[in-house]
């Protein structure tokens, strides 16, 4: 944890300093085991960075530019944390929202949403539902196509002009949380910063190529420390059209500027594939 909150204000922009885990320099191919991080082959280096409060930025982040945006979206939050059946109408509501926001011709939602819960100190952490404490991209460009086949409905039988993948992240526990999600402005990420590795799942045996991120002082990090239940953070994981943001590395981090005594973090993350047709 960063030893102090180090809250800063610059021309109305508010930020905090926090320690986040980048990929260390290594010749070994990174490998993550999602149900058991103790098996990871992932040398990490902690780096202190400035993370801006996205709500205080003079120009709010946009999906097509920075690759992420905080959007209004009301839902029955209390149902989502413990009721699997509630996640299906939730995903349909997200689908409708993305159709409107992106202008895509079709939006497909991944089959499952993931609820992540912070664990009290000392409690076992062998669980794919933990906040992920290192910087990553869910899939590499090569891994996109396997993810589309594995996690989504069959691709449309149409000529496709563009495909983009998004994550949709919502805080279910009362905010603010001391373990929020930070996203990196896609424009500040060089292609060489992202290193291909393997994301593996013990229970299903599935593996696909994902991305892990080397430190770069040019990276611009943003979070939303006061997210409400009627908001969702949408961020890019891939875009076939290079006129738009490609992908946003992201990570959970400890926010020392959070007021004391926060509720343990509970969040839900959903994934979507957007298609634009050529005909």
pLDDT at 80: 87
31-33 vs 194-200, strand pairing mode = parallel
pLDDT at 77: 78
Enter the tokens of residue 146.
């396997």
The vertex-156 CA angle with 154 and 157, nearest 5°, equals 110
| First-residue to last-residue Cα distance in the chain | 51
Residue that is written with structure tokens 């526990």 in the block: 173
Range with lowest mean pLDDT among 76-85, 89-98, 180-189, 242-251: 76-85
Enter the tokens of residue 63.
């999906």
Enter the tokens of residue 191.
């292609």
Are the C-beta atoms of residues 94 and 139 closer than 8 Å to each other? no
Pairwise CA distance, residues 70 & 234, whole Å: 6
Percentage of the chain surpassing pLDDT 90? 80
Pairwise CA distance, residues 194 & 137, whole Å: 8
How confident is the model over 2-49, as pLDDT tens digits? Answer: 444 566 766 789 999 999 999 999 999 999 999 899 999 999 999 999
Residue that is written with structure tokens 């159709």 in the block: 99
Closest CA to 220 of 5, 61, 3: 61
Pairwise CA distance, residues 268 & 87, whole Å: 9
pLDDT at 6: 60
Range with lowest mean pLDDT among 12-26, 37-51, 122-136, 181-195: 122-136
Range with lowest mean pLDDT among 6-15, 67-76, 142-151: 6-15
Kindly indicate the confidence band of residue 130, based on its pLDDT and cuts at 50, 70 and 90: confident
Pairwise CA distance, residues 156 & 231, whole Å: 30
How confident is the model over 73-101, as pLDDT tens digits? Answer: 998 877 888 776 788 999 999 999 999 99
Residue that is written with structure tokens 């082959």 in the block: 41
Would the pTM of this model clear 0.95, i.e. be above it? no
Kindly indicate the confidence band of residue 134, based on its pLDDT and cuts at 50, 70 and 90: very high
Cα torsion 97, 138, 37, 192: sign = negative
Cα torsion at 195, 200, 121, 184 (round to 10°)? 30
How confident is the model over 260-269, as pLDDT tens digits? Answer: 999 999 999 9
Q: Is the pLDDT of residue 124 over 50?
A: no
Kindly indicate the confidence band of residue 163, based on its pLDDT and cuts at 50, 70 and 90: very high
Residue 237 CB burial class (10 angstroms; 0-12, 13-18, ≥19): buried
Closest CA to 267 of 165, 181, 139, 152: 181
């Amino acid at each position: 944890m960063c030893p102090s909150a180090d809250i800063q204000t610059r021309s109305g922009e508010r930020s905090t300093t926090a320690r986040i885990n980048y990929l260390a320099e290594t010749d070994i191919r990174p490998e993550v085991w999602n149900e058991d991080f103790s098996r990871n082959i992932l040398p990490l280096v902690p780096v202190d960075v400035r993370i801006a409060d996205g709500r205080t930025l003079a120009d709010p982040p946009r999906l097509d530019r920075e690759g992420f945006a905080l959007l209004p979206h009301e839902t029955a939050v209390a149902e989502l944390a413990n009721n699997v059946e509630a996640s299906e109408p939730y995903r349909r509501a997200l689908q409708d929202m993305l159709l409107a926001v992106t202008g895509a011709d079709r939006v497909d939602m991944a089959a499952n949403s993931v609820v992540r819960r912070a664990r009290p100190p000392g409690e076992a952490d062998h669980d794919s539902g933990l906040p992920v404490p290192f910087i990553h991209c869910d899939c590499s460009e090569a891994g996109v196509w396997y993810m589309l086949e594995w996690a989504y409905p069959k691709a449309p039988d149409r000529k496709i002009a563009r495909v983009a993948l998004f994550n949709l992240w919502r805080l279910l526990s009362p905010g603010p949380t001391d373990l929020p999600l930070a996203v990196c402005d896609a424009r500040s990420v060089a292609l060489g910063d992202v290193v291909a590795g393997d994301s593996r799942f013990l229970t299903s045996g599935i593996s696909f190529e994902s991305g892990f991120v080397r430190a770069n002082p040019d990276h611009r990090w943003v979070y939303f420390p006061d997210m409400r239940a009627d908001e969702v953070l949408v961020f890019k994981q891939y875009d076939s059209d290079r006129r738009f943001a490609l992908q946003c590395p992201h990570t959970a981090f400890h926010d020392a500027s959070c007021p004391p005594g926060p509720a343990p973090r509970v969040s839900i993350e959903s994934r979507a594939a957007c298609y634009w047709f050529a005909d």
